[in-house]
Structure 1
Amino acid sequence: MTDAPLVTILDDEPAIRDILTEALQDAGYRTRAFSRATEFEAALRSVTPAVCLVDLSLPDRDGLTLVHRLALEQGAKVIIISGRAQVQDRVTGLELGADDYVTKPFDPAEVVARVRARLRTPPRPAQTSARFGDWTAHFDHFALEKDGTETPFSQAEGEVLRLFLESPKRLITRAHMQEALGGTAGDSFDRAMDVRISRLRTKLGEDPKNPRLIKTIYGAGYIFLGDVTWS
């Protein structure tokens, strides 16, 4: 159990924390639960969770701001668990870097499955930088560089970008993305991919109506058209 992945739970509802703690521990994960964002952030100085479950409606901090910080600064996967079921809340959470979004009420078994799916992502090669055109993607500190200026990207966006850069000029289907990135099939996964690809296109300065690098092949998937050199 000491080598099991650590899953942190940030939710101000004791019942939710208890339900998730029990379900995750029964599945073999270590857990730590927090009711306040300040407690959670303090704990991050000494622990490195594999997955963070984060509620958006926190009493002492805006959950979306915290998700954005976790996505950019921490190596953990982030799954939002929230009572906010509106599409815009889902889109915003995914745009800020969350890996998945689960609405309340939920089945604990589904949350465990989503945690397991996120941790199934296969190990990546040792190369940490990839150059394409005028851009360099740095995966050691999650940034795109052009003309000496860096633009940060989230770990979730980086997973998608790396998938494209490892298979340039090849069709990448939704099924391939799901298998490679450890996603759970369904609208939530498709929405997450759409958001991340849209964010990457924006950071790469792509014309959304006629992108040069990340092309959508409607009904099939995506193709990355650049020439890529890894180092």
Structure 2
Amino acid sequence: MTIKIGIIEDDIKTIEILKLYLEREQFNVNVALNGQNGLELIHNILPDVLILDLNLPDYSGFDLAKKYRSQSNGILFFITGEKSKDKLIYGFEVGGDDYITKPFDPAEVIVRIKANLKRLENSSFDILKIGNLIINFNDATVTKNGQLLDLSVKEKMLLFYMVKHKNQVLLTESLYDAIWGYDAVSDLKTVTVHISTLRKKIEEDKNNPKYIQTVRGFGYKFVIE
């Protein structure tokens, strides 16, 4: 199977270099020069590997990362000239796998991509069965008792994030930042609302939840025994 790689980057020289090296390795490369076209690339192509510039002229790279993560468990690389520790940490929190720091060695990028692809091939986390739920990270679907659940994008993002951090206490503030972002116009109550609607859809008894449990004074925990 040919690996699909998406590059969302506004610097043409960077794209040309990456595209040259990636195509030499027989990867199928698709590119976008801005955030809007990047959204279309993610929706239409859903690449196995996404190389994403954090500093796009029209869109937050972190927001694009969340969009990708809501639909795919593929490999996500951030490419940036910045070395801000806070941004690096946040990038991993929203689902990034690795960073490419400019200036970079294209040959090293290829090695990193191949290493991550090998890890992904050996992962058993792509499709997760939990009781009567099946959570498919490949096609971003969730089924309950064999029936496909109609989850909103935010509900999926919230569920997938909690499952990836299973059995961990997640602060309400952390969930809000990870799913809605620091610059969102809503408030922490939106987390509570989405937790409530998610429970109605995935739990057998929303008033006595088995999976999404409240940790009073802190936030929530997705419990997998």
TM-score w.r.t. structure 2 length? Answer: 0.60
Aligned position for 1:31: 29
Amino acid at match of 2:57: P
**Structure 1 66/45 Cα, relative in aligned 2: closer, same or farther at 3 Å?**
closer
Shift of 1:24: 1.0
Following superposition, the deviation at residue 51 of structure 1 comes to: 0.5
Residue type matched to 1:58 in 2?
L
Q: Secondary structure at the match of 1:128?
A: strand
CA, structure 1 residues 75+83, in 2 after alignment: closer, same or farther (shift >3 Å)?
same
The unaligned stretches of length 5 or more in structure 2 are 143-154, 176-212
1:53-76: per-residue Cα shift (whole Å, max 9, x none)? 000110111111111121123343
The answer to whether 1:50 aligns with 2:48 is yes
Conservation of the 8 A alpha-carbon contact between 1:82 and 1:102: yes
**Corresponding residue of 2:128:** 128
Tell me how large the CA RMSD over aligned residues is. Answer: 3.9
Distance 1:104 1:125, change over 3 A: closer
Equivalence for 1:139: 135
Q: Is the Cα–Cα contact under 8 Å of residues 6 and 41 in structure 2 kept in the other structure?
A: no
> Is 1:70 aligned to 2:68, yes or no?
yes
Q: Which runs of 5+ in 1 are unaligned?
A: 144-149, 165-196, 208-212, 214-225
- Which letter maps to 1:139? I
Amino acid at match of 1:71: R
The answer for the alignment partner of 1:40 in structure 2 is 38
CA contact (8 A) 1:81 1:101 kept: yes
Structure 1: 4+ residue segments shifted above 4 A? 153-161, 197-207
Distance in 2 (alpha carbons) for counterparts of 1:19 and 1:154: 37
Query: How far off its partner does 1:52 sit?
Result: 0.5
Q: 2: CA distance between counterparts of 1:80 and 1:52?
A: 8
User: Do the aligned residues in 2 keep the contact of 1:56 with 1:62 (CA within 8 Å)?
Assistant: yes
Please give the alpha-carbon distance, in whole angstroms, between the structure 1 residues aligned to 2:215 and 2:81. Answer: 34
1:40 positional shift: 2.0
TM-superposed CA distance for 1:126, in Å, is 8.7
Counterpart Cα distance in 2 of 1:103 and 1:63: 15
Give the SS at the match of 1:44. Answer: helix
The answer to whether the 8 Å contact 2:77/2:98 transfers is: yes
- What is the SS of the residue equivalent to 1:12? coil
CA deviations 1:8-50 (Å, max 9, x no partner) are 1111001100111111112221111111111122233332310
Go from structure 1 to structure 2 and tell me whether the alpha carbon gap of 1:24 and 1:73 turns closer, same or farther (over 3 Å shift). same
> What is the aligned partner in structure 1 of residue 109 from structure 2?
111
CA 1:46 to 1:92, structure 2 compared with 1: closer, same or farther past 3 Å? same
Amino acid at match of 2:108: E
Q: Deviation digits for residues 203-222 of structure 1, max 9, x if unmatched?
A: 77679xxxxx9xxxxxxxxx
Q: 2: distance between equivalents of 1:32 and 1:94?
A: 24
CA contact (8 A) 1:11 1:55 kept: yes
Whether contact under 8 Å (2:130, 2:224) holds in the other structure is: no
Give the structure, 1 or 2, with the largest relative contact order (CA under 8 Å, sep 6 or more): 1
- What is the TM-score normalised by the length of structure 1? 0.59
Maintained 8 Å contact 1:19/1:108: yes
